[in-house]
Amino acid sequence: MSRPRFFCPEGLSPQTTLALPSALAHHAARVLRLADGAQVVLFDGRGGEYPATLHIAGKQVTAQLDEHVPREAEWPASLTLVQGLPSGDKMDWVIEKAVELGVRHIAPIAAERSILKLSGDRLEKRLLHWGRVAQAAAEQCGRNRITTIAAPVPLSQWLQLPQQGVRLLCHPAGSGALREVLPHTASAVTLIVGPEGGWSDAELTQAQHRDSGTTLFTWGDRVLRTETAGIALSAAVATWMGWV
């Protein structure tokens, strides 16, 4: 049986004893009901992990850390998912599955047709929530890095960011299949997926402008839901690139 895994961003070093933060201690002892002496794994998101033994005395939970293990579960190249904000809690599902698949960066887009609108305190709370979703998914799937999630911006603003590797936008107006537009030599791949209502004409024009560096491609004869597209495309990219 695999050891329970916990993200602990501070204080990890070999052969030391660490008092776990209260929230993590509560989760380990009260939610998971781990017993004194339980064998676990801690990681801080900087790479690798630490096997550890828990010592539980009431609400006090400490971890005796072993040597650092430089184990990684990352793809050999960076994959970014640029996701038009979907409605409701669909973004939670997208983040969870993207993390499980190995996506390194997620960039939510406040698209013109996005139903979900975020600003102020509501935005801050949602970003914190998304961070917790990404953390839990990394703990579950065995990754020792935490997927970064940017604050939502309009597509026009995101397209102005420096380009890294290949930018691909899935759209029925695309001129080729994924295998025709994605070279095996790509050092980084970015997938751009629209919201439920798709991209507006203005957004599509911005993406197709030569300065954006974006290539449109198609997904066969079917139209995928926004919460399905990015996940399916991420798996397709990993397979085509030989990462899995």
The domains of the chain, with CATH numbers, are: 5-65 (2.40.240.20), 78-240 (3.40.1280.10)
Residue in 94, 167, 160 with CA at minimum distance from that of residue 133: 94
Question: Taking a C-beta distance cutoff of 8 angstroms, is the pair 62, 86 a contact?
Answer: no
pTM: 0.94
Given this model, what pLDDT does residue 132 score?
Answer: 96
DSSP for 21-44 reads: PHHHHHIIIIIS-PPTT-EEEEE-
Positive or negative CA dihedral for 216, 109, 149, 231? Answer: negative
| Averaged pLDDT, groups of 10, the chain, 244 residues long | 91 95 93 95 97 92 97 96 95 98 97 92 96 97 97 96 94 88 94 95 92 89 90 96 92
Given this model, what pLDDT does residue 1 score?
Answer: 64
Q: Read off φ and ψ for residue 89, nearest 5 degrees.
A: -100, 20
